[in-house]
Structure 1
Amino acid sequence: MPQICVIGGNRYFGRHLIGLFQDAGAHVTVVNRGSAPQPPGTDHVIADRDDEEALTRALGTRTFDAVVDQVCYTPVQAAVARRVFTGRTARYVMTSTMEVYDPATCASPRPPAATPVPESTVDPAGRPVTWDLPWRSSAALTRLVGEATAYAEGKRQAEAVFSRDPVFPFVSVRSAHVLGGGPRDFTGRLRHYVARITAGRPVAVHRDPARTSFVHHEEIAAFLHWTATRSDFTGPVNAASHGAFTVTDLCEAIAAATASPSPVYRTVPEGEPASPFSFDRPYAMSTARATALGFSLTKVTDWLPSAVAETTAEISQEV
């Protein structure tokens, strides 16, 4: 029986991921701080991943065929995991993000503006790691560099720690923006758009919004499961549904799916925050590597209408 470890992330698509492993006959160990209940049928290890001694002690003699790390946000966390899981796992998969490509948060080397962006644009093995930043305090780090940069740079540098002189086969899955319908999507981002568009309220957008990438919550779970159970590739891989959208493309699709009038937009002045998924710079991802490796990706238009319908139904039940 395959032994799988999932660190954190057992809400939203993480819960679906665990179910996929179980359906395939794997034994799943979930590691978290105990703030969320364990999914049925899993082995629950309660430990703070930042506490190296406690994590090592809690894991005991367990070994794994693969680890899926859903909540690695900093190089310090990556360094702890690297030490703790050396000799314990045959494969390590980190859930990363397309934000590693965001030129607005990347000082040097800066990714090019051309899209779609391939994985080689940000080489984790060649990136510097800045150990003297306040990685252990998210509040201090955010005050210093801003929330978006703290998130994106934390992911970039975490990938770098795992990638240099790797102690186990390592893959970073750079996920597109995850969307899903109904109460499973605790982020509320799709709900934000559905609620505003169906009510005829304006959506704040940039003057010339750029295209970005999306993936359905079930698809990213399936992609992580596939990645963890493969053994023939390592390194970064982009995960996104086919068909990059601008924020206005997204709004028009939601309006069509809900039979709403054309969306109303408010163009934000330069420097003012816009709605989620409105970007003034392009960094939609290339999925050529994932496709070449054999994963069959869907199109955004395949799943967006049903996700919108789920969200619309949820909103209507609350009225």
Structure 2
Amino acid sequence: MDTALVIGGTRFIGRHLVSELLDHGYDVTTFNRGNHDDPFAEDDSVARVEGDRTNDSALEAARAEVDPDAVFDCVAYEPREVRAATEIFSDADAYVYISSGDAYGSEEIPKREGETDLRPCTREQATDDSGETYGNRKAEGDRAIFEAAERGVSAYSVRPCIVYGPHDYTERLDYWIDRVNEYDRIVVPGDGDNLWHRAYVEDVAAALRVVAEEGTPGESYNVGDRRLVTIDEMLELIAGALDTDIELVHAGERELAAADLDYDDFVLYREYPHVLDTDKLADLGWESTPLEEAMTRTVEEHLDSDRDGSEYDPGRDAEERVLGVLDTL
């Protein structure tokens, strides 16, 4: 495969995917509406087609202009969009859809492709754009991939867990990096053993390319760090990248309630562990970045940005009240 069309390609996963493809010799074209700053605007090695991916005619025009060998769909949020794309790009050597670990519909450790049930998706959920139906819509998109492969389309699905890394506009990890950078004592919900599988963004980009080149049509592939860390270990990795010392202070329900807080007020906390099995992807030759290296790159870019994750901030005053309660115990 020589030519790639990246639907999206300017913000987070797509941005890193474009770089990954360029590094591996692809001729890359991005397709998007131009609503966000384009990091490749001055890069002559990246072509661009402007259009709305929800408009099938615009996608057909992009196909005719680019004639891509591989198509990577970073911004398909409704099942209808996946079904349309698999028809429009049915002759491509690979159509790779970014799904989500949230597509899984049952709590198992670990969640495995082809074994763990996917979420159901009603007609109403299929067109609902709320966060509550995100996993349902992604699961139905996966089913559209399976159906397309049965028709002979080289269609694949990649399911990342929580993605982190440079240029993460969601700012979920930025909150914790900012906390560690600003304070010596960090309030951690629960006992510190909370486990929510994460995936370094450059590894997700590599997974998308590897699946297009080596995957089996109609299959889904989980992607996440090969070594999982608890929330405590994540914070220690951040502190190491910042070359600072921190004290992790664990707060239970009673201590948090003293400041009208709950576990769910802290981003990246999940009561039940979320773990994806990544052996299937690793069998294709994919590897993940060592965690210390991934976190160092993430922290370095954070420090150069203006992101602080403040939208997730439970309030330092509230945390100080929690610390005061814990100090009296």
Structure-1-length-normalised TM-score = 0.80
Give the corresponding residue for 1:261.
Answer: 246
Q: Distance in 1 between matches of 2:200 and 2:171?
A: 14
What per-residue deviation string (whole Å, max 9, x for no partner) do you get for residues 15-62 of structure 1?
232123223332212111122337222232222111223332444354
Number of the residue aligned with 1:116: 110
Distance 1:117 1:299 in 2: 22
CA apart distance, 1:14? 1.9
Rate the CA distance shift 1:94–1:75 in 2: closer, same or farther, 3 A.
Answer: same
1:174 partner amino acid: R
Equivalent-residue separation in structure 2 for 1:55 and 1:291 (angstroms): 32
Amino acid in structure 2 at the alignment position of 1:192: Y
Q: Which moved more, 1:242-251 or 1:206-215?
A: 206-215
Q: Is the 8 A contact 1:8 1:71 kept in 2?
A: yes
Code of the residue aligned with 2:112 in structure 1: it is: P
**Cα RMSD (Å):** 2.9
Q: Describe the superposition over 1:112-162 as per-residue Cα deviations: whole angstroms up to 9, x where unpaired.
A: 43x2222123466xx755234361x52xxx2xxxx2x32111111111112
Distance of 1:118 and 1:33 partners within structure 2? 35
Match of 1:79 among 80, 83, 87: 83
Long gaps (5+) in structure 2: 308-329
Change in CA separation of 1:253 and 1:58 when aligned onto 2, cut-off 3 Å: closer
In 2: Cα distance, 1:14 partner to 1:274 partner: 29
Equivalent position of 1:273 in the other structure: 264
For structure 1, the residue ranges without an aligned partner over 5 or more in a row are none
Could you say which structure has the larger radius of gyration?
2
Q: Distance in 2 between matches of 1:251 and 1:3?
A: 40
What residue in structure 1 maps to residue 96 of structure 2?
93
Q: Distance in 1 between matches of 2:65 and 2:301?
A: 43
Identity, % of aligned pairs? 26
* Matched-pair contact (CA < 8 Å) for 2:82–2:97: no
Alignment match, 1:297: 288
What amino acid maps onto 2:198 in structure 1?
F
Q: Does 1:241 align with 2:241?
A: no
Tell me by how many angstroms 1:304 deviates: 2.0
Give, in angstroms, the shift of residue 192 of structure 1: 0.5
Q: Matches of 1:282 and 1:256 in 2, distance apart?
A: 24
Structure 1 segment 1-319 matched on structure 2, within 5 A: 2-36=2-36, 37=38, 39=40, 40=43, 41-60=45-64, 62-87=66-91, 89-101=92-104, 106=105, 111-113=106-108, 115-122=109-116, 129-133=121-125, 135=127, 138=129, 142=130, 147=131, 149-166=132-149, 167=151, 168-181=153-166, 184-200=167-183, 202-203=186-187, 205-206=189-190, 210-230=194-214, 232=216, 234-258=218-242, 259-267=244-252, 273-312=264-303
How many equivalent residue pairs? 293
**Displacement after TM superposition at 1:296 (Å):** 2.2
CA, structure 1 residues 47+265, in 2 after alignment: closer, same or farther (shift >3 Å)? same
Superposition TM-score, scaled by structure 2 size: 0.77
